[in-house]
Amino acid sequence: MPRFYVSTELSPGRTLELPENVVRHLHVLRLKNHEAIVLFNGNGHAYPARLTVLEKRRACAEITAEETPAVESPLHITLIQAVSSGERMDFTLQKSVELGVAEIRPVLSGRSIVRLSGDRADKRVARWQEIVLSACEQSGRNIVPPVLPLVSYCEALAALPAADVRLLMSLNQAQSLKDIAAEPQAVTFMVGPEGGWTAEEEAQAFAAGFQAVTLGSRVLRTETASLAAIAAMQTLWGDFV
């Protein structure tokens, strides 16, 4: 059933006018009046609804129920991702949300090819949040992972979230994920850009309590490393069975 994010209060019995972007999407999907859809606003619930008006530039839906499907992983993963170039960053964020990441913190590292600041950085973060919303619509998630403002590597280390374990994707002093001693419920996971971390950045991460992890003997691209590691974590400690 088609799912759409709306940034408004939702409750059974309410009829609401849908925003323009949802109206456009309804027409792209060639939906008809009276067809069923699902709305969500990020509060963890899903709201089955029925289209009551579907015109060229206007649509309304009546909410028929409230549901709380169990789609969130018990493993809370904060992804600190160094900004990568081209479509790599977009792809990484989209797929990491599908895999269950709870929060995304983009950072600029010493070897980041892309350099963003000011309005350009704000616009890029807003675009990344849109990608996250679309991934939630597609994957069935009803809690929207936030994309935090873009910061420098040092700023990211100074504002780390609470976590049971902090992991750094690196070949330096690395161990396998399965060798992490405890089964964590909250993980902060940091992945570098195309050129990897600098030696200074790795030293700073180790000083901040990060452990280096690797996925084997092959060198992975940044977008592959993020997604493969998240999938492995969900298999070891999360809800992949």
Q: What is the pLDDT of residue 113?
A: 66
The fold of the 3-63 domain, in CATH, is Ribosomal Protein L25; Chain P (2.40.240)
Tokens 């971390």, located at residue: 197
Instruction: Say yes or no to pLDDT of 31 above 90.
Output: yes
Mean pLDDT of 13-21: 95
DSSP state of 148: P
What is each CA distance from 58 to 18, 24, 37, 67, 219, in whole angstroms?
A: 7, 9, 16, 26, 50
Instruction: Say yes or no to pLDDT of 150 above 90.
Output: yes
Two tokens at 37?
């859809």
* Domain extents in the chain: 3-63, 76-237
Two tokens at 151?
């910061």
Pairing status of strand 47-54 against strand 59-63: antiparallel
Instruction: Say yes or no to pLDDT of 154 above 70.
Output: yes
Q: Read off the pLDDT band of 128 (50, 70, 90).
A: very high
Contacts 24+ apart (CB under 8 A), 175-179: 175/211, 175/212, 175/213, 175/214, 176/213, 176/214, 176/215, 177/213, 177/215, 177/229, 177/232, 177/233, 177/236, 178/236
Instruction: Determine the CATH number of domain 76-237.
Output: 3.40.1280.10
If one counts every other C-beta atom within 10 angstroms of the C-beta of residue 201, the result is 22
Q: What is the mean pLDDT of the chain?
A: 92
Gyration radius from the chain CA atoms: 20
- What's the pTM? 0.90
Q: What is the pLDDT of residue 139?
A: 95
Instruction: Summarize pLDDT for 208-219 with one digit per residue, the tens.
Output: 999 999 887 777
Instruction: Say yes or no to pLDDT of 117 above 80.
Output: no
Q: What is the pLDDT of residue 196?
A: 85
Instruction: Determine what percent of the chain is predicted with pLDDT higher than 90.
Output: 75
Cα separation, 50 vs 38, in Å, equals 8
Instruction: Summarize pLDDT for 101-115 with one digit per residue, the tens.
Output: 999 999 998 877 667
Residues 6+ apart with CB under 8 A from 11: 47, 63, 66
Instruction: Summarize pLDDT for 160-206 with one digit per residue, the tens.
Output: 999 999 999 988 888 888 888 678 999 999 999 888 889 999 999 99
